[in-house]
Amino acid sequence: MEKTYPDAYMESLKPPVTSIGVIGWIRFNLFNGAFNSILTIITLLLLWKTVPPVFKWAFIDSVWFADSSACRGSDGACWSIISANFRFIIFGFFPYESQWRPLLAMTLLFGLLFYSKDRNHWKKSLGYAWIIGLIAMGMFMRGGIFGLAPVESAKWGGLPLTLLLSVFGLTAAYPLGVILALGRQSKLPALKLLCVLYIELIRGVPLISLLFMSSVIFPLLLPEGVTINNILRAQTAIILFTAAYIAEVVRGGLQGMSLGQYEAAESIGLNYYLTMRLIILPQALKIVIPPTVSILISAFKDTSLVVIISLWDLLKTSKSILSNPEWMGFSRELYIFIAILYFLGCFSMSNYSRKLEKELSTEN
Amino acid sequence: MNQESSERTNNQTENGSMIEIIDMHKWFGEFHVLQGINLTVHKGERIVICGPSGSGKSTLIRCINRLEEHQQGKIVVDGIELTNNIKNIEKIRAEVGMVFQHFNLFPHLTIVENLSLGPIWVRKVPRAEAEENAMYYLDKVHIAEQARKFPGQLSGGQQQRVAIARSLCMNPKVMLFDEPTSALDPEMIKEVLDVMIELAKEGMTMIVVSHEMGFAKSVAHRVMFMDFGRIVEENTPEQFFENPQHDRTKLFLSQILH
């Protein structure tokens, strides 16, 4: 065999030193041209001006575990506001000696959520585990059974309440939204009209007004003596509201499906229900994972609006601490803490959705 | 071969027709797309339908499994008349296999899942048995080694063969092909036609909308030419190609055969 290529083609040539490594990267990304060089320098100056003071405030001059008077004497962050009031922020008015119960309920919830992350675990037994888990959580929160002291729901607050509203709100709103989207595509005019009306009406009002309606107007319509739990009413409002948005996103996914998929499903004899369940929805819902997660994330944050109907969620318990004269003025620290908690929730949702998308991808 | 052909004649003499279409009309809005179709297809018979685009040939076979609804006349498939009765429609669809121009495989399922889905959910076959059956048909279309892949990872010709196998898994009594090779690259047409020819040799009742005249000559019992929603001419392949009767047929043939 004769060589047809010169040797230089066979050896892999290394690129010039100036275009690889740290120096290459800096040159290419930060100083490629006068304008970018100026921008880089300005940015570095700004960072130098802001980062060290913030770092100093948050970590060096800060007070972590002390009372408020120690905080007042210091220039740094007063993280003590969190450590000193931690249990009230997290559990609200739940009886102090029974706070292990919501803690256990939350641990159970996180355990189940964590276990459910892996799609290989999505079996019937997991469904049963959730049912049992939810009953157990309810039991821990309510009490009144197995010698647990009953705690009325008006005393539920803080993180457990936020989780309750969002986890239930989102899991119930999702299937409802899918059903509404299917209804909106229905060939039955009455059903279609009903779904369109629902979606447009709910989307046409802010969540706050729905929450007010559920807490102020709705009880007026009930017969005398009948009351419905405040949390349940807020919960319902959140579900109804979120479902309308999910319905529209899912509709977008359904419209993205080609007619050929319906025809192929029909031509092997699948009925409407099976066509939707096995062929159309798995594909359509996968397409709309990113916008769906956006809606779920914003719904999660919107649960903080229940403050206005005087439910003591995480944000409300925190705010109430700030009205205590002892801790007045340390709102920055507290809000940063709450923001971190919300961020963790939102970030893990978006992280998980990206993982799910990757797993469900069938393109190579 | 002998046995098979005698079986066919038996079937034909025994109870005649697999599909019976009587004076069937269909409109798309104001457009009269099928104008009085009369067609009887016997068991084991293979029919190739050709014609210019817009002549209604695809619509005709899509009416047979109710992907399109006819508005006048009568369609009887395997003794069941197509009406608005959804149970009958589902029954007929399970008996009638359909292969599409654009394959229409389910992209979110693996090849073997594509094949076993119908048997599992419509015929209530146990999963293991359905998958075994699926592998049998995949082997038949020479593609068993791709069973665990997704449709997006296969070539067009492979996808179309999978689509044929998917229909066969339902044990259909009739197979409808709607331009099965017209979305394929030229070098992939043959592998799909070969599978269809093998199927024909086994005595499957087939209605094929296609312009593959070589295929029509080698397997069809009858060739039909459609134009403006009517069956203009029908004949045996020999007569059809060598001695077309109508001017319109002659013109069409001269254009596609060059």
What pLDDT does residue B9 have? 41
Residue A187 pLDDT greater than 90, yes or no? no
**Helix boundaries (H) for A123-229:** 124-142, 158-163, 169-184, 189-203, 207-212, 218-221
Work out the pLDDT band at B15, boundaries 50, 70, 90. low
Return the higher-pLDDT residue of B241 and A227: B241
Pairing between strand B96-99 and B174-178?
parallel
Cβ–Cβ below 8 Å for B106 and A261? yes
What pLDDT does residue B258 have? 63
The CA R_g of chain B, rounded to the nearest whole Å, is 18
Residue B164 pLDDT greater than 70, yes or no? yes
CB B104 within 8 A of CB B85: no
Contacts of B177 in chain A (CB under 8 A): none
Closest-CA distance of chain A to residue B99, Å = 8
Closest-CA distance of chain A to residue B93, Å = 5
Distances (CA, A) of A5 to A9, A11, B50, B205: 7, 11, 53, 58
One-letter amino acid identity for B132?
A: E
> The tokens of B209 are what?
């909308």
pTM above 0.90, yes or no: no
Residue B2 pLDDT greater than 60, yes or no? no
A63: helix, coil or strand?
A: strand
Work out the pLDDT band at A10, boundaries 50, 70, 90. low
Distances (CA, A) of A303 to A159, A166, A352: 11, 6, 20
Return the higher-pLDDT residue of A313 and B39: B39
What pLDDT does residue A18 have? 63
Interval B98-135: pLDDT, tens: 999 999 999 999 999 999 999 999 999 999 999 999 99
Q: What integer best gives the mean pLDDT of chain B? A: 88
Cβ–Cβ below 8 Å for B67 and A260? no
Of B151, B153, B170, the CB nearest to A268: B170
Superfamily of A151-319+342-360 according to CATH: MetI-like (1.10.3720.10)
Q: What percent of chain B has pLDDT over 70?
A: 94
Instruction: List A residues 272-311 in contact with B (Cβ-Cβ < 8 A).
Output: 274, 278-279, 282-283, 286
Of B90, B97, B153, the CB nearest to A271: B90
Nearest residue of A to residue B98 by CA position?
A267
Does the interface predicted TM-score (ipTM) exceed 0.85?
A: yes
Interval A54-102: pLDDT, tens: 888 888 777 777 777 777 777 777 787 777 788 788 888 777 777 888 8
Residue A153 pLDDT greater than 80, yes or no? no
Contacts of A279 in chain B (CB under 8 A): 106
Cβ–Cβ below 8 Å for B122 and A266? no
- Cβ neighbours around B175 below 10 Å, total: 22
Residue ranges, comma separated, of all CATH 1.10.3720.10 domains in chain A are 151-319+342-360
Return the higher-pLDDT residue of B161 and A135: B161
Asked if B107 has any chain A CB less than 8 Å from its own CB, the reply is yes
Closest CA to A244 of A302, A313, A319: A302
Q: Mutating which of B117, B153, B159 best tests the A interface, going by the most A Cβ atoms within 10 A?
A: B117
Q: What percent of chain A has pLDDT over 90?
A: 23
Three-state secondary structure readout of chain B: CHHHHHHHHHHHHHHCEEEEEEEEEEEECCEEEEEEEEEEEECCCEEEEECCCCCCHHHHHHHHCCCCCCCEEEEEECCEECCCCHHHHHHHHHHEEEECCCCCCCCCCCHHHHHHHHHHHCCCCCHHHHHHHHHHHHHHCCCHHHCCCCHHHCCHHHHHHHHHHHHHCCCCCEEEEECCCCCCCHHHHHHHHHHHHHHHHCCCEEEEECCCHHHHHHHCCEEEEEECCEEEEEECHHHHHHCCCCHHHHHHHHHHHC
Work out the pLDDT band at A17, boundaries 50, 70, 90. low
Residue A7 pLDDT greater than 60, yes or no? no
Give the contacts of B67 (CB within 8 A, at least 6 positions apart).
A263, A266, A267, B98
